[in-house]
A and B are shown apart, each in its own frame.
Chain A
Amino acid sequence: DGGITQSPKYLFRKEGQNVTLSCEQNLNHDAMYWYRQDPGQGLRLIYYSQIVNDFQKGDIAEGYSVSREKKESFPLTVTSAQKNPTAFYLCASSNWGQGTYEQYFGPGTRLTVT
């Protein structure tokens, strides 16, 4: 089955620890994205990548880092510099340069930092 997987579904960490969220897709999409969603809010873009080994900051990149070493994978690290990391994190992917650019979303990771 084609799709996007994120792991883990729930993640609990102590303040001051870095944590890495996994995102994998087998849709052969070039572009991948990370969004953050806070309760009752819309989605805000953290980082996106249009091609392997390249990525751009979104609206709220401070305190986050990413890598794109493989087309299928786009992990997100939430660093201790992120002041309020507790949120629901969604990964998405899309075609780039052709088609509808429709973004397909993974199931999400709910991160709680105490």
Chain B
Amino acid sequence: ELKVEQNPLFLSMQEGKNYTIYCNYSTTSDRLYWYRQDPGKSLESLFVLLSNGAVKQEGRLMASLDTKARLSTLHITAAVHDLSATYFCAVGQTGANNLFFGTGTRLTVIP
């Protein structure tokens, strides 16, 4: 079974600072997704990464994928309070539709 690990699990950071969330997975995959979840809400899609070396950016968030290292990163630049949420990575199993989710990183941005 494909296993997905995220770290850190909890992240408290000051506004204006930069930080990176890491997502490691255990077996070969051809796609990786990042989602955001606000408290009590559903999941909102942030990024879809489909190839080695893929990099996508939206506002203060940038995601990248290294399929050889089985690693994706979500980089936060100059954090603002609105980014406070839980961020999940999800990895697709090659040849199947299933997604395997990490346990999430709860980000709190402190003014």
Contact = CB atoms under 8 A, between A and B. Distances in A.
Given A43-B101, A48-B97, A100 B50 contact: yes
Contacts of A104: 45
Contacts of A78: none
A64 to B, nearest CB: 16
Interface string B67-111: 000000000000000000000101010000111011110100000
Contact of B103 (A41, A94, A103, A108): A41
A43 B88 contact: yes
Mostly, the B contact residues are strand
Nearest to B104: A42
Interface residues of B, number: 24
Contacts of A48: 97-98
B97 A50 contact: yes
Interface in B1-55: 1, 4, 31, 33, 35, 40-45, 48, 50
A103 B101 contact: no
A108 B42 CA distance: 6
A90 interface: yes
Interface residues of A, number: 26
Contact of A42 (B48, B50, B101): B101
Interface of A: 31, 33, 35, 40-45, 48, 50, 58-59, 90, 94, 96, 100-108, 110
Given A102-B33, A107-B41, 13 more contacts: A35-B101, A42-B4, A43-B43, A43-B88, A43-B90, A45-B98, A90-B42, A90-B43, A100-B31, A100-B50, A102-B48, A105-B44, A108-B41
Interface of B: 1, 4, 31, 33, 35, 40-45, 48, 50, 88, 90, 92, 97-99, 101-104, 106
